[in-house]
Amino acid sequence: MRLKPFLYTIAFFTSMTLSAQIEEAKLDQLVESTLKTFNVPGISVGVIKDGKVVYAKGHGVRAMSNKKEMDNSTLVGVASNSKGFTCFALAMLVDQGKLNWDDKVRQHIPEFKLKDAWVTEQFTVRDLVTHRSGMGLGAGDLMFFPEADFNVSDVLKNVGHLEAESSFRSQFAYNNNMFIIAGEVLKRVSGLSWEEFIETKIMKPVGMTNSKASYNRVTDKSNIIEAHTLADGKLVQIPHDWSPLANPAGGIMSNVDDMLTWAQFLMNDAVTAKGERLLSEKQFHELWQLQTPLKVSANDSYNSNFKGYGLGWFLTDVKGGYKQVYHTGGLLGTVTQFTMIPDLDLAIVVLTNQMNGSAFTTITNTIKDSYLGYEDRNWLDKLGRNNTEWYTYNDSLKIAVFDQVAKMKNSAIIPKADAIVGAYKDVWFGKVSITQSGTNLRLLSDKSQTLKGSLLPYNATTFIVKWDNRSYDADCYVQFSFDETGKAVGATLKPIAPVTDFSFDFEDLKLIKQD
């Protein structure tokens, strides 16, 4: 890529017209319609084209509770868009000769250990950030999602208990805990915490003046979102929920202005507005090289030929072979999308305060299509219909489950309470208790104290855990195994509907009854 100067100033944030195929008024209307279609309180959107900020606006409100307007300075948790920062930071250490991508992790963290001894010894820093560990989707995420009482030492210990679902480096399976460990590599090699490194070595020189590496480092919360989601079909505001443990995987707080600055810096080949190069051309090139391939759908919307993951970034080609570098992010109550097509000098940022990815996809795809020359494909209507069908399908599954629960309330085949009450333990997640109060059975986690709910009968071996926090949308089957006397000896969990976020990795739990 050729070097492109920073051409925008603060004036562009206050007086802008869209210098592209999509008009500003049309984009305004699209965002407003997206808010309504997907029941999102607030969305902020930014676009860079040809070195200029051509759109940076907020729409809707930051929070249902205060009704304050969302704007281009409103702070949002960008979630997994933080992964690109983690890899950029590691690349800086490679430039400094302090680290190599193919260093064995145990060279820097001797206590690192996975289930398989050979994989442990072969596992590299590159493997930490390319989602090819062999473990399943979201493995171990319950250590931080929802916020729980685990630390980095716990993660390093507990990943050694997680079972592989595929052979090492053979398949892509998104893994946040490996990024937590990558953050620990950064800390041990650089001598700075991940948060200190990101803020002082990247954000400050890039010019991301309002961003912080973690929610708990934001001192001025006068212009920040609150999170929202659907709970039993109703939009609700929920408390911020994110463990600082997982900051290297998704902790950054930013806004449209700063994320556009980040995009402009990246598309300027990692050279700041002041002309400072933060990363060598070699290492910057490495970040956007395919590391772990992914399949391209046969009916791909952008006629893509390849897709995969680089170092902290998803990579694909879109219409005519333009390389697209992108990522999405999701927290409880917010989702975000960051997209760059460097050959078109185009970047699109969409930040939301409701966890519905169809909203950011509608906006990003519509903007992107206008620059790629597609006719209006009406993503709003298409994804709006898909969204309605998706929630209707999930609701139907839930209704069927709870209809069955109602039928089984007084059934004689339901295990007696004394057969299942007691303490259970999972080797990495810790203690889970099943207690009885009157006729009510309860399930409670020791380390993740917001994970508590009622156990409801489903069949002769299975209960449903209905979580007290309805915003989780993560009710589960709890299937017990019994000994010859009819006493429970263990249990496994499984979400009752696919709408459950993959980071609620209940299926990785193997609860063993304690004597």
CA separation for the pair 480, 493 (Å, rounded): 9
Collapse the DSSP code of 255 into the 3-class scheme (helix H, G, I; strand E, B; otherwise coil) and give the result. coil
Collapse the DSSP code of 244 into the 3-class scheme (helix H, G, I; strand E, B; otherwise coil) and give the result. helix
Collapse the DSSP code of 294 into the 3-class scheme (helix H, G, I; strand E, B; otherwise coil) and give the result. coil
Sorted by sequence, the CB contacts under 8 Å of residue 165 that are 6+ apart come out as: 134, 135, 136, 139, 171, 173
CA separation for the pair 164, 122 (Å, rounded): 15
Identical fold, 11-354+364-372 and 397-513: no
Q: In angstroms, what CA-CA distances link 107 with 120, 187, 252?
A: 11, 14, 28
Whether residue 56 contacts residue 260, with contact meaning beta carbons closer than 8 Å, is answered with yes
- The residue behind tokens 């950030």 is 129
CA separation for the pair 116, 119 (Å, rounded): 5
Name the strand (E) or helix (H) holding 386: helix 379-407
Question: pLDDT tens track of the chain, all 515 residues?
Answer: 333 333 333 333 333 333 457 899 999 999 999 999 999 999 999 999 999 999 999 999 999 999 999 999 999 999 999 999 999 999 999 999 999 999 999 999 999 999 999 999 999 999 999 999 999 999 999 999 999 999 999 999 999 999 999 999 999 999 999 999 999 999 999 999 999 999 999 999 999 999 999 999 999 999 999 999 999 999 999 999 999 999 999 999 999 999 999 999 999 999 999 999 999 999 999 999 999 999 999 999 999 999 999 999 999 999 979 999 999 999 999 999 999 999 999 999 999 999 999 999 999 999 999 999 999 999 999 999 999 999 999 999 999 999 999 999 889 999 999 999 999 999 999 999 999 988 899 999 999 999 999 999 999 999 999 999 999 999 999 999 999 999 999 999 999 999 999 999 999 999 999 97
The token pair that represents 1 in the structure block:
């890529």
Q: Give the closest residue to 338 by CA, choosing from 129, 130, 78, 85.
A: 78
Name the strand (E) or helix (H) holding 158: helix 152-158
Q: In angstroms, what CA-CA distances link 295 with 252, 289, 290, 304, 310?
A: 29, 16, 13, 10, 14
- Reading phi first (left if > 0) and then psi (alpha if -120 to 50, else beta), residue 4 is in beta
Q: In angstroms, what CA-CA distances link 374 with 307, 368, 370?
A: 20, 9, 6
11-354+364-372 folds as: Beta-lactamase (3.40.710)
CA separation for the pair 143, 397 (Å, rounded): 27
In the chain, where are the structural domains located? 11-354+364-372, 397-513
The token pair that represents 143 in the structure block:
């250590």
CA separation for the pair 256, 273 (Å, rounded): 17
Q: How many residues does the chain have?
A: 515
Q: What is the pLDDT of residue 4?
A: 37
Instruction: Answer yes or no: pTM beyond 0.85.
Output: yes
Whether residue 58 contacts residue 69, with contact meaning beta carbons closer than 8 Å, is answered with yes
The token pair that represents 32 in the structure block:
């407003």
397-513 folds as: Lipocalin (2.40.128)
**Preceding peptide of 498 cis, ω within 30°:** no
